[in-house]
Structure 1
């Protein structure tokens, strides 16, 4: 038996699929503008605000990814872990608000006591009850 002929039609199809599979995403990446090119088309005010907020957005994203990594360590589903974390943060915020309220009340009470009973340094230094000049 002789050698089997090469199936050029099959290899042509394989080549087309390879070109589409590799070239399609490469062509899309080549056509898509970069972030800097998009920003260059903004008006100056919008460009300034975008640049100013970039660091904050990156920090928020990093914190989000860190929290997701922390949540994924649990055996529970992530939505349950997130809900538990939200409840914990809510309780902490309520406790902090109560603490601040108590501190404010304590400051008010201290101010009232000082207003009613001045310290010796704040009392007038008069030699007589009727002297206005304090001499």
Structure 2
């Protein structure tokens, strides 16, 4: 009987210690962890000002991120796959927009050259390797 009571005492000790660690550990961390307000008060005045100025923008970026995650989660695919696809589409759209902007700039420049009355072949090379506008060789 003494052996069974020894085992029981050991089990009770282990349960008490385990419960103390499982409950007491997180409670201790919550007790010593500073709140956001306490951390903010520890900032120097310049950082407090900068933090207050950027708060709206950070909140807006976070809200956009959460909205995107909600949209990505509607898909049957994993979120990271959908994010990669969205990033790829965004990059392609950005490149396409850059190309269209470059084409628009070229068209504007040509229109300005035509309005200014510059020669049609300005800047093009003849077979001799010299510019049509000057006799200087083009390097």
TM superposition score category, shorter chain reference: 0.5 to 0.7
- How much does 1:45 deviate? 1.3
Partner of 2:50: 49
Asked if 1:64 corresponds to 2:65, the answer is yes
1:6 maps to what in 2? Answer: none
* Structure 1 residue matching 2:34: 3-state secondary structure: coil
Give 1:47 shift.
Answer: 1.4
**Alignment partners' CA distance in 1, 2:105 and 2:53:** 36
Instruction: Give the drift of 1:35.
Output: 1.4
1:101-116 equivalences under 5 Å are 101-116=102-117
**Residue 22 of structure 1, CA deviation:** 6.9
Q: Deviations over 1:53-110 (max 9, x none)?
A: 1111111111111111100100111111111111111110011001100111111111
Aligned equivalent of 2:136? none
Matched, 1:100 2:104: no
Per the alignment, residue 89 of structure 1 pairs with: 90
Residue ranges of structure 1 left out of the alignment (5+ in a row): 1-13, 118-135
Structure 2: how far apart are the matches of 1:18 and 1:77? 37
RMSD, matched Cα: 2.8
**Which one has a bigger Cα radius of gyration?**
1
Unaligned runs of 5+ in 2: 1-14, 119-139
| CA–CA distance in structure 2, aligned partners of residues 37 and 62 of structure 1 | 25
Aligned partners of 1:75 and 1:60: how far apart in 2? 25
Q: How many residues align?
A: 109
Under a length normalisation based on structure 1, what TM-score does the superposition of the two structures give?
0.64
Distance in 2 (alpha carbons) for counterparts of 1:66 and 1:83: 16
Whole-angstrom distance in 2 between the partners of 1:59 and 1:16: 45
